[in-house]
Structure 1
Amino acid sequence: MIIKKKLNNNAIIAYGQDGIDQILTGKGIGFMKKRGDNVEEEKLEKIYKLSTADSQNKLISIVGTIPIRYLDFTDRVVKELSQKLSREFDDNIYIALTDHIYFTVSRYRKKEKINTSLLWEVKDIYPEIYKESLHILKKINNEFKVNLTVEEARLLTFHIADNLKNNCQNFNIGDSIKIVTDMLNIVKYYFNINYEEDSLEYTRFVIHLKFLTKRILSKEKQSTDAVFFYSELPQKMPEAFNCMLKIKKYIAKTQHFNLSIGEQSYLTIHIQRIILNHK
């Protein structure tokens, strides 16, 4: 293998035989090396090579500006998650988590506030992932000598859940966009409103619909049901609840998927927030 670029003494980028560059790490693998030198394979410890040229190029772009230890940390975390959750992840998780952890740590050290208010429900939608995210949070604090709060676990849960490999073989981005758009339109025309796309409520709603759509297309049921307040929704939020029932009917008809009590509850609450934002 031939070196294309030295990142530091312990990490390099090498030309791949299939035309896709790869990231190589190992103690001293880049020491006193330059472009065109042969790789000392006895020093090679890890090879980072994602499945597509596009994702690999994004990863290489990131490690060109972020210390390699963040990628090494992400690699360990992803392997552990795969074992504990018995799930596989999209290649993008290496990019998303590495980038997120680095900038979260950087913002913490600069004493910049981190906003997690968009993701208040993810711990209920993905309780198993949230539980693992709390463990990852402890590892981040230990590894990088920071003191991030439990609120950060919600952001970790978001990135992990967003990069789960889908169980549905026919899933594609076009399907996802259509379902999200259709649900947005049901609410829009039911209440005869125009969305304020820069508002916090709209952003929260779209994020929720994207998560919901991913579960619908993968036929993945929500783990916990919000039974304790579902029964109160028809009285407390009647219009939002009735609109939610239209979305529920649409999903059942087009996707052959029945929303759980928990999914119906959170969807109703998000619709109610949209309504209040337009009063």
Structure 2
Amino acid sequence: MVIYKILNNNLILSRDGQGHEVIVKGCGIAFQKKKGQQVEESRIEKIFTAENAQISKEIQGYLTAIPEKYLDFVEAFVNEVKEKEGMKLNDSIYFSLSDHIMGAISRLENGIRLQNMLLLDIKQLYHKEYEIGLELLKKVNEMFEVDLSADEAGFFALHFVNAEDGGKTDSYQISIIVHQILDIVEKYYDNMEFQEDNLYYQRFLTHLKYFAQRFLHKELHYDENQELFKIIKEQYREAYGCVKMIYLMMEEEYKYAMTEDEMLYLTIHIQKITEDHKRLKNL
């Protein structure tokens, strides 16, 4: 393959046989190389194909921002799962899962543990993915010498759900609620346009679908984590302000008062997606 652009010693841009831009990963693949030169096939570890230029930029951003130790670990685990379970997974899982593991370990080092409000639902709805999440949790704790809780197994499982081909179906009512919430976020942030293929947007969308599903099935009863909620709403004030608008909508439209845990996780998701939106604008 010919080097189109060097991202770092381990990453290059190239083109496949159809002329589509691809991102090629390999240890030292670009070391002492220049644009236009060939790379040794033996050094290629993984080839990522992007659907469009925007997704390519996002993938480049993740690959250059996430340490190799997380990317390599996730790549090995996901490939093992694909082979063992026969699962067809979108390449997005390599980045989203690496980013999540990195963030979870970082939060743990700062004394923050997130409770997974969806854990029981995930166990019931996505048993196979949850079992994979448990296995991944065990390996993460062993590999990085940490003590992440079982809540993370549920979060890990959702990455596999999101990445599975075919996806899951949602009702019309769920779609209406999700649309109303997205509309509030867009208007609150000056008509911010969501990139539908954005990884953080997909994670946010999944959270909203579960929220709407649990609301419609009257399954929204969780323990309050007041201390963490207080920290998050102070740290992410703008995102929390947006969540308060969502709270008012749910109260007025559906006569439902959101819990602090629901507001907590919405605040975290909105903060993450808006941070990523700003980052992409500066690429």
Unaligned 5+ segments in structure 1 are: 189-193, 213-239, 245-266
Q: 1:48 aligned to 2:47?
A: yes
C-alpha contact (below 8 Å) 1:134/1:153 kept by paired residues: yes
Q: How far did 1:2 drift? A: 1.6
Cα distance in 1 for residues equivalent to 2:100 and 2:167 = 25
Cα separation, 1, equivalents of 2:91 and 2:32: 31
**1:75 and 1:94 in contact (8 A); partners too:** yes
SS of the residue corresponding to residue 269 of structure 1 reads: coil
Q: Tell me: CA distance 1:177–1:23, structure 2 relative to 1, closer, same or farther (3 Å).
A: farther
1:66 corresponds to which residue?
A: 66
Establish whether residue 277 from structure 1 lines up as the match of residue 279 from structure 2. no
Q: Residue 158 of structure 1 aligns with which residue? A: 158
Give the length in aligned residue pairs: 204
When residues 211 and 90 of structure 1 are mapped into structure 2, their CA distance, relative to the original with a 3 A threshold, is farther
Q: Is the 8 A contact 1:25 1:44 kept in 2?
A: yes
Name the structure 1 match of 2:90: 90
Q: Give the deviation of 1:204 after TM superposition.
A: 10
The corresponding residue for 1:124 is: 124
> For the pair shown, which has the larger CA radius of gyration, 1 or 2?
1
Alpha-carbon distance in 2 for matches of 1:184, 1:4: 39
> Of residues 174, 184, 191 in structure 2, which corresponds to 1:180?
174
Amino acid at match of 2:60: I
**Could you say what the CA RMSD is over the residues aligned between the two structures, in angstroms?**
3.9
CA distance in 1, matches of 2:125, 2:78: 20
Whether the aligned pair in 1 keeps the contact of 2:22 and 2:47 (CA below 8 Å) is no
Q: What is the aligned-residue identity percentage?
A: 22
Alignment of 1:263-274 (within 5 A): 267-270=217-220
- Specify the alignment match of 1:137 in structure 2: 137
CA contact (8 A) 1:119 1:158 kept: no
TM, length-normalised to structure 1? 0.59
1:230 counterpart residue number: none
Alpha-carbon distance between aligned partners in 2 of 1:206 and 1:12, rounded to the nearest angstrom: 34
In the alignment, the residues of structure 2 paired with residue 37 and residue 98 of structure 1 have an alpha-carbon distance, to the nearest angstrom, of 30
1:276 positional shift: 6.4
Following superposition, the deviation at residue 87 of structure 1 comes to 2.4
Structure 1 pair 72–3 and aligned structure 2 pair: CA distance change class (3 A): farther
* Kept after mapping to 2: 8 A contact 1:130/1:153: yes
Alignment-mate amino acid for residue 277 of structure 1: A
Shift of 1:33: 4.2
C-alpha distance in structure 1 between counterparts of 2:213 and 2:50, whole Å: 24
Output the CA distance in 2 between the equivalents of 1:272 and 1:139: 29
Question: Quick one: distance in 2 between partners of 1:84 and 1:108?
Answer: 30
Specify the code of the residue in structure 2 equivalent to 1:207.
K
Please state whether the residue corresponding to 1:49 is helix, strand or coil.
Answer: strand
2:24 equivalent in structure 1: 23
Gaps of 5+ in 2: 186-204, 224-253, 260-283
Whether contact under 8 Å (1:24, 1:48) holds in the other structure is yes
Pair 1:23–1:109, CA change in 2 (3 A): farther
Q: Structure 1 residues 121 and 275, CA, compared in 2 at 3 Å: closer, same or farther?
A: farther
User: Amino acid of the residue matched to residue 48 of structure 2?
Assistant: K
Q: Identify the residue that residue 209 of structure 2 maps to in structure 1.
A: 207
CA drift of 1:130 comes to 0.8
Closer, same or farther: CA 270–118 of 1 in aligned 2, 3 Å: same
Cα 1:21–1:51 shift into 2, 3 Å: closer
Partner-residue secondary structure (3-state), 1:2: coil
Distance in 2, matches of 1:204 and 1:270, equals: 16
Displacement of 1:91: 2.9
Please state how far the C-alpha of 1:150 moved relative to its aligned partner: 1.4
TM value normalised by structure 2? 0.58
CA distance in 2, matches of 1:211, 1:51: 31
State the 1:136 CA deviation.
Answer: 0.6
Cα deviation, residue 55, structure 1: 3.4
